[in-house]
Every structure is written in C-alpha cells, then in structure tokens.
Amino acid sequence: MKQAVPEVVAKTGRELEDVVSLGVAAPRMIDPRTGKFRTPVLPPWSEGDAPSDDLGEWLRVQGALDNDANLGALAEPTYGTDGHREIVVYVKGSTGIGAGLVISSNPIRGHGMAGEIGHLVLDPDGMVCRCGGRGCLETIIGADALVRQAREALAGSVADVPYSLASLIKRAQSGDAVCERVVRDARRVLGQALALVCNLLNPDLISWAGSSPPRRIWSWSPAGSPWCASGCGVRWVPTVNSPSS
C-alpha cells in the first residue's frame, strides 16, 4: 500500500506533503465504534493490524478504516445515481461476496457485520467457510468456489481446466458445458440470496460491483426470481478488484 500511495498522489499532480487525510477501504468486518478490524480477522490481516493507523503515521495525517462495500454503498447515492434513492444495497463480488447498505443516505453498519451477505447460510450442510460457518453464500459462489467446482468436474479431462474466475468465465463464454453450468447455477443462487434481501429491505436499487464476472454472464433480476415478492432496480458498477478482496 505504501508503494501505491505515492503513485496515486502523483497522478493528481500533488506531493505526499499535500495529503491532509486518508481512508482505507478493506474487504473485512470493521467495528464502527473503534474503527478497527472485528474478529474473526481474516487473511491477509491479523488481529491487532491497523492499516489506516500505520499509513496515517507514515504520512503524518489522520487515517480512517472502513469496509469497502460500506463505502461503495455510500458512494452510490452520492455519486452514482440520478434522483433520490432511499434504500440502496451495494453488492461487491470478487473472491468473496460483500454488501453495503445505505438508508436515507446513512450507511448501516450494525456492530461491524451488517451487509455480510456472503455469510448468509444457504446450505446448512455445505462446506465450512473461512469465517467458521458452514454453507455460506461465499462457499457456493465465491471465485474460489466456482473455480473449484469446475476443476472437480473436469478432473481427468484432457481439456485445460480453469485456473481463475476470469478463465472460467472465458470458457463459459466459449461454450464449455461445465463452466456454463457452474456460472448458471451460481447465478441462480445469487438471485436467491438477493431475493431474500429484496423481501427484507425492499430496496430502490441493488448495485452489483466488480470488474468480473461480466454483466452479460451474470444477467439476473432478483424481482424476477420465484423467491422475490418485491421489485427493485439493478445497476452494474465496474470496479477494480483488490488483490486482498
């Protein structure tokens, strides 16, 4: 991160001495009362790590730490939408699945675990999750889970197996039957999870954020799901994935 900061500042035409504050968006649970990681603290960080404090001390400015999906959700009604949106759900898909919730322009954090849609239990008898739960959404449609499903199905095949989410998506786009099925099943499960969110919150908008998978592959409408009784808008927000997300 210290290597990236000077590069970002240089792009603005400023110097490091011009920085007056900083914020760190991390794909982890953050306690809003302390601004620190909540337990369990998942890799690559460990309990006691404070990246915003470390960077703030380095730059001699005040630093703040928050969940990346919470900040994305806050940015959506501030910069990304036309007109008033009372309830916005921002879902970020990458290695894991996270979400942020904004109601009347106020981010809803709970005690630091609000919006953890990736840890909704959709399969009580499913795989153990890195959070310690079992059958979380992330274990079903997270990037690692999707690649694992395809590799297991293609084990022993002469065909090259996907080694990343991007390669899995590319193979699905090319008509690979196994990869197409993995994506189709994941899309259904994602729609089911978001339909539960719609029924609970009845949001004005759901934003799906992430540089992959592509929009045409993950085309879904929670309102069209048999599990959903309410309608809402859906917006695609391309973002750059963090290597630690």
**Cβ-contact 149, 155 below 8 angstroms:** no
Under DSSP, is residue 45 helix (H, G, I), strand (E, B) or coil? coil
Structure tokens belonging to residue 51: 């990246």
pLDDT in tens, 72-128: 888 887 777 666 778 888 888 777 788 889 998 888 888 777 888 888 999 999 999
Q: Which of 238, 113, 137, 244 is nearest to 193 (CA)?
A: 137
pLDDT for position 235:
59
Q: What percent of the chain has pLDDT over 70?
A: 83
What is the rounded average pLDDT of the residues 144-166?
86
Across 36-44, average pLDDT = 82
- The stretch 217-231 carries a mean pLDDT of 51
CB atoms within 10 A of CB 121: 13
Per-residue pLDDT band for 43 (boundaries 50, 70, 90) equals confident
- Residues 83 and 224: their CA atoms lie apart, in Å, by 24
Residue-by-residue DSSP string for 116-169:
-GGG-BS-TTSPBPTTS-BSBHHHHHSHHHHHHHHHHHTTT-SSPPP-SHHHHH
Q: What are the tens digits of pLDDT across the range 189-214?
A: 888 888 888 888 888 888 887 645 44
| Distance separating alpha carbons of residues 118 and 98, to the nearest angstrom | 6
Express each pLDDT in 4-21 by its tens digit. Answer: 888 988 999 998 889 999
Q: Which helix (H) or strand (E) holds 100?
A: strand 97-103
How many residues are present in the chain? Answer: 245
> What confidence tens digit (pLDDT) does each residue in 54-72 have?
888 898 999 999 888 888 8
Phi and psi dihedrals of 205, rounded to 5? -150, 140
Rounded mean pLDDT, 183-189? 88
Q: How many CB atoms lie within 10 A of CB 226?
A: 8
CA distance 90 to 75: 10
